[in-house]
Each structure stands twice: as C-alpha cells, then as structure tokens.
Structure 1
C-alpha cells in the first residue's frame, strides 16, 4: 500500500509548534509529468551503473510499500522535527 498522508510537525526555537498535513495522491498527480522524465533518466542510470532495471524497480516498489508507519523524529536544541507517514 502506498502512503496516503505525510504529517510534518516542527517546533521552532521560540517554542511555537506547527503541523502540516500533506496528502500524497494529489501531490503525485501534480508531479506526474516529472515522473515521465524520471523514468527514462532512471533507465539510463541503470545502464550506466550496470544495474538491472527490473531489480531497481522492484527495490523502489518495496521501499514505497514499507513507508506507511514510518516515523522520523529529529531534535536539536530547542528545535524539533517530526515526520510521520501513514
């Protein structure tokens, strides 16, 4: 299952918190013309580095399939960042 929602929350150094919800399907729809350019570039990169295109596609699919449920938290000093993929 591909991710459907990415939540990005951050706390500024002054203590204020912000949360941003990003729905993945509309973003993919808007960025789909770039995908038409990325696929041939990926195939050329596979040929240059002698990587199987099928294996690269399978690995990319597995990575996307594993994303839902991922939670990344970064905190440095008084600034914090939380990224959650659902």
Structure 2
C-alpha cells in the first residue's frame, strides 16, 4: 500500500512545536507532470545503473517498489543542537 500521510513536526527551543500533515495523494496529483518526468528519469537512471553493474533490471525495480510500499509506519527523527525534526509516514 502506498503511503497516505506524511507528518512533519519541528521542535524549536523557544517556540511552540510546528506540526504539518501532508496528504500524499493530493500532492502527487497537483505535481503529477513533474512527478511523471522525475519517475521516468529515475527509472531510466536505474536501468542504466543496473546495466552498468550487471544487475537484473526487473528484480531491481521490483525491490524498489517493495521499499516504497513498506514506507507506511516509518519514523525519522533528527536532532541538531536544540532543534528536532520528526517525520512519520503513515
């Protein structure tokens, strides 16, 4: 299943935390022309890289798709000094 919602929370030391919910499907629909060009470019780049390193193209693209489908439930936390960024993919 494709990720549906990305939640980004930024904690700052002297201010209230900022939380932003980004629905994936509307963003993809709005940016669909750019997304199509980016996906085609990424696939072409992956095919060229697979050919250079003698990796099975179909298996590599299938593995990439499985990684994208496994993203829901992923959390990414980054802290620098007193600022923290928390990203959750649902």
TM-score by length of 1: 0.83
CA deviation string 1:28-66 (max 9, x = no partner):
331223212222121111111221111111211211121
User: 2:85 maps to what in 1?
Assistant: 81
The alignment yields a C-alpha RMSD, in angstroms, of: 1.6
Deviation at 1:84, TM superposition (A): 0.5
CA deviation string 1:8-44 (max 9, x = no partner):
1111232331112222123333122321222212111
Q: Distance in 1 between matches of 2:28 and 2:46?
A: 18
User: 1:7 maps to what in 2?
Assistant: 7
User: 1:23 maps to what in 2?
Assistant: 23
Aligned residues: 86
Give the gaps of 5 or more residues in structure 1.
Answer: none
Q: Distance in 2 between matches of 1:23 and 1:39?
A: 24
